[in-house]
Structure 1
Amino acid sequence: MSERKIHTTQVAIMGAGPAGLMLSHLLHLAGIESTVVEIRSRRDISHTIRAGILEAGSVDLLVDSGVDNVLRNGHEHEGTEFRVNGEGHRIDFKGLAGSSVWLYPQNEVFDDLAARREADAGDVRYECSDTQITDVTGKPRITFTDSAGQDWELRAEILVGADGSRSYCRSQIPESDRTRYFNEYPFAWFGILTEAPRSAPELIYANSAHGFALISQRTDTMQRMYFQCDPTTNPADWSEDQIWEQLRLRVNGNGFALKEGPIVDKVVLPFRSFVNTPMRHGNLFLAGDAAHTVPPTGAKGLNLALHDVKLLFESLDSYFKSGSTALLDTYSDRALDRVWKAQYFSYWMTTLLHTVPGEQNHAFFRARQLGELRSLLESEHGRAYVAECYTGWQGK
């Protein structure tokens, strides 16, 4: 065991995903010191394929801070299509809400931020082990072993837990001081990556009697597609023919057909809704998946994390520049206001578009669901509600 070295910083950040790196980057621009501690390797994070829809506000946060590859390599989507029993209905985000979203995979957001922190000589420690946290209500301390085997004690004024849905930081909050809200869904997504051209210029959300499907994109030649399945499904049991049959049943129709190709990856993704309140305990602040997760249907996960970071950065900037704790003291409530709006929208989109297995009186549920979809899509106000929520409640 090596002799433990001591390092002091203003803000210690657990987790080097997009949320942790974005916060570290913003703090650097403001002249505030931070150190990021991460158990995974940079390569592992970069190769973790996650959601890829950025709200206008998330794009603004990246671009305004000088991380602007999204404008060159991303794809602006001014709307999306809801397909109901094979019939398409476009929702015009730009016309109805005045905003767009951008298709830009989360791992590319990470790569951009990681490269920027490296270029700025940011203190980001990957592949750390034996991590322990103490004194989160006073002067937080993190002990860990770095990738070279050196033991460290990191001392900070503020600790930020941006360490994902299995957050170690969150577990440091006593059970008596927090409330956990949880909902597990009775279905999952069967996801594929296929070598094929784009099937459509924008995302397609499909509802059918056979279940939900989502047609997304990655590049001009590589696409992501998902369909609803049982959470216990083993992707290895499914042939390419079976997968394409399910996607065709849920999406094709009225002259539209998916563009197909070889499947190079397949995975089953269970999902849930989760919120931990409050998002602060002493000098520990939670951000992103450490505090909340949403089903992917509403494309809110990464966007919520970046919004947390924006609020937390503004709070920390005020604290370190003026000594005022006013924004830090209200951070949790302000962040949770948006979190619960996003939880509602994500839950609503999920129940609107998925077929619920084992639903009592399934025929009634299906007919009622179709009635709701018609009411929504035939109403400009209904379409505007989807556009406003999906693009991120701009200015609110």
Structure 2
Amino acid sequence: MRLRTQVGIIGAGPAGLVVANVLQQAGIGCVVVERHTRAYVEARARAGVIEHRTADFLARHGLADRLTMESARHGSCEFRYQGERFSVPYAALTGGREHLVYPQQFLVRDLIESFIAAGGTVFFSHPVVGVAGLDSDRAVLRCEPAGSEDGTGGGEPVDIDCEFVAGCDGFYGAARPSVPAGRMRAFARQHEFGWLAILAEAPPSTTEIIYALHEEGFAGHMLRTPTVSRYYLQVPVGDAVENWPDARIWATLRRRLAVADWELKTGRITETSILDMRSFVVEPMQYGRLFLVGDAAHIITPAGGKGMNLAIADAAELARALTTYYAGDGGHLLEGYSAARLPEVWRTQEFSRWLLHLTHSPSDGGTDAAFMHRLQLSRLAQLRDSPTFATTFADGYAGAAPVPVRV
């Protein structure tokens, strides 16, 4: 099958689907291709913290009805250390910039339903195996059918001729490798610890997200739904899931999160994984007819819940640039897409790294570990006691303020 459209979108995650919905609303032709099945992407558990700016953008485009009705609103987070606890009311400190807690897979489901209901086309189970023509008048996405997770197969091959390509297919996708060598520069850092990520059928033991600094390492209690909770534990680089039976997980969470008059609620652990804690950015985020969005252009640690929000901010800027291009602006915003996004990408990377090193125990064996730990305690005391310090943190944690949407 051969198709022709204006914008080919690789990836049916939040970023790709936001681009698709906004372009569709503007009357711009687009097709989405996704290597996994629809069932897979709608069930894939990921982040769940949606910044105020992100929610505002989605609402302005009619994409937040279920999000608004079903999400929980949060305006403060809690820090714990040495058996003590304190909260930072970041919404109050930023003029009302709350977070909405809504699992990413629910948002993906909503965006797919909206796009398809309005006549959009998504080719699921069709990995992109080649991207050609990025330097020519039109690009071509070559997509091969893949056997789906349920064994039903993926259909026939598809070639998509398009004027522009939105590469929203993540770090391991086909978009970025299609750029000729030497045209993008990568900046990367491998962090000195890992995270054990735990998903459990357990009601939350808190009304606020918890970040706990403990001599053994970081522990986090994140909120998802009234019956499902996400937890994180700092682990050594190279650790394995097999080293963490359920009993050890719950015992470690109790120990690292412990404060007086508080109890950890437990339940069936449904998923555990070791997260590769790395940071990565490519510059520029565009080449020829290709524009990289979200994890295809940058990887950020989960600290602060920034990944999905940063990806949707990329998607909003690219959709704006494409919309104005097809309205006849001559492509000035498209040419400036990377320059417009990279400053925020780097600011967000810096914040995420700062939060990591605020709450994680220094690497084992470091000669300055005790000194670095005292610095952490000083920062936490400032966060607790200094309105100026707390406001600076709140501004980074809550994310940028919403601005009038221009698409």
CA apart distance, 1:395: 4.6
CA apart distance, 1:260: 2.3
Partner of 1:332: 338
Alpha-carbon distance between aligned partners in 1 of 2:200 and 2:130, rounded to the nearest angstrom: 41
CA apart distance, 1:257: 2.6
Which structure 2 residues correspond to residues 203-214 of structure 1 after superposition, within 5 A?
Answer: 203-214=209-220
* Number of equivalenced pairs: 392
CA apart distance, 1:166: 0.9
**Alignment match of 1:228 (pick from 226, 229, 234):** 234
**Alpha-carbon RMSD:** 1.5
CA contact (8 A) 2:33 2:127 kept: no
CA contact (8 A) 1:132 1:144 kept: yes
Partner of 2:144: 145
Alpha-carbon distance between aligned partners in 2 of 1:47 and 1:211, rounded to the nearest angstrom: 30
Q: 1:262/1:167 Cα in 2 relative to 1: closer, same or farther (>3 Å)?
A: closer
* Paired letter, 1:185: H
CA contact (8 A) 2:193 2:237 kept: yes
CA apart distance, 1:323: 4.2
Partner of 1:292: 298
Give the TM-score normalised by the residue count of structure 1.
Answer: 0.95
CA apart distance, 1:90: 0.7
**Alignment match of 2:392 (pick from 359, 376, 385):** 385
Alpha-carbon distance between aligned partners in 1 of 2:195 and 2:265, rounded to the nearest angstrom: 20
CA contact (8 A) 1:235 1:268 kept: yes
Partner of 1:117: 115
Partner of 2:61: 65
SS of aligned partner of 2:347? helix
Alpha-carbon distance between aligned partners in 2 of 1:367 and 1:148, rounded to the nearest angstrom: 56
Q: 1:114/1:134 Cα in 2 relative to 1: closer, same or farther (>3 Å)?
A: same
**Alignment match of 1:83 (pick from 80, 83, 88):** 80
**Alignment match of 1:319 (pick from 319, 322, 325):** 325
Partner of 2:279: 273
CA apart distance, 1:73: 1.3
Q: 1:231/1:48 Cα in 2 relative to 1: closer, same or farther (>3 Å)?
A: farther
* Paired letter, 1:96: L
CA apart distance, 1:217: 2.0
Q: 1:46/1:360 Cα in 2 relative to 1: closer, same or farther (>3 Å)?
A: farther
Alpha-carbon distance between aligned partners in 2 of 1:306 and 1:236, rounded to the nearest angstrom: 34
* Paired letter, 1:52: G
Gaps of 5+ in 1: none
* Paired letter, 2:393: V
Partner of 2:150: none
Q: 1:130/1:295 Cα in 2 relative to 1: closer, same or farther (>3 Å)?
A: closer
SS of aligned partner of 2:193? strand
CA contact (8 A) 2:22 2:319 kept: yes
For the pair 1:13 / 2:13, whether they are aligned, the reply is no
Alpha-carbon distance between aligned partners in 2 of 1:163 and 1:217, rounded to the nearest angstrom: 26
SS of aligned partner of 2:223? coil
Larger displacement relative to structure 2 (251-260 or 326-335): 251-260
Alpha-carbon distance between aligned partners in 1 of 2:197 and 2:128, rounded to the nearest angstrom: 34
CA contact (8 A) 2:310 2:345 kept: yes
Partner of 1:364: 371
CA contact (8 A) 1:85 1:250 kept: no
**Alignment match of 2:35 (pick from 19, 36, 39):** 39
How big is each residue's C-alpha offset from its partner over 1:321-378, in whole Å with a ceiling of 9 and x where there is no partner? 1142111111101111110010000011111111122322211111122112212221
The percentage of aligned residue pairs carrying the same residue is 33
For the pair 1:394 / 2:396, whether they are aligned, the reply is no
For the pair 1:190 / 2:190, whether they are aligned, the reply is no
Partner of 2:106: 108
Gaps of 5+ in 2: 146-152
* Paired letter, 2:125: E
CA contact (8 A) 1:10 1:157 kept: yes
Larger displacement relative to structure 2 (221-230 or 139-148): 139-148
Alpha-carbon distance between aligned partners in 2 of 1:97 and 1:386, rounded to the nearest angstrom: 10
* Paired letter, 1:47: A
Alpha-carbon distance between aligned partners in 1 of 2:55 and 2:100, rounded to the nearest angstrom: 8
Give the TM-score normalised by the residue count of structure 2.
Answer: 0.93
CA apart distance, 1:289: 0.3
CA apart distance, 1:187: 1.4
Alpha-carbon distance between aligned partners in 2 of 1:282 and 1:164, rounded to the nearest angstrom: 19
CA apart distance, 1:47: 2.1
SS of aligned partner of 1:297? coil
Q: 1:259/1:119 Cα in 2 relative to 1: closer, same or farther (>3 Å)?
A: same
CA contact (8 A) 1:210 1:249 kept: no
Q: Which consecutive aligned stretches of 4+ in structure 1 deviate over 4 angstroms post-superposition?
A: none
Alpha-carbon distance between aligned partners in 1 of 2:158 and 2:123, rounded to the nearest angstrom: 11
For the pair 1:343 / 2:349, whether they are aligned, the reply is yes
Larger displacement relative to structure 2 (287-296 or 115-124): 115-124
How big is each residue's C-alpha offset from its partner over 1:195-215, in whole Å with a ceiling of 9 and x where there is no partner? 322211111111111211110
SS of aligned partner of 2:362? coil
CA contact (8 A) 1:80 1:203 kept: yes
* Paired letter, 1:310: A
Alpha-carbon distance between aligned partners in 1 of 2:180 and 2:186, rounded to the nearest angstrom: 12
* Paired letter, 1:265: E
CA contact (8 A) 1:15 1:37 kept: yes
* Paired letter, 1:90: S
SS of aligned partner of 1:156? strand
For the pair 1:28 / 2:24, whether they are aligned, the reply is yes
CA contact (8 A) 2:221 2:232 kept: yes
CA apart distance, 1:265: 2.5
CA apart distance, 1:385: 1.3
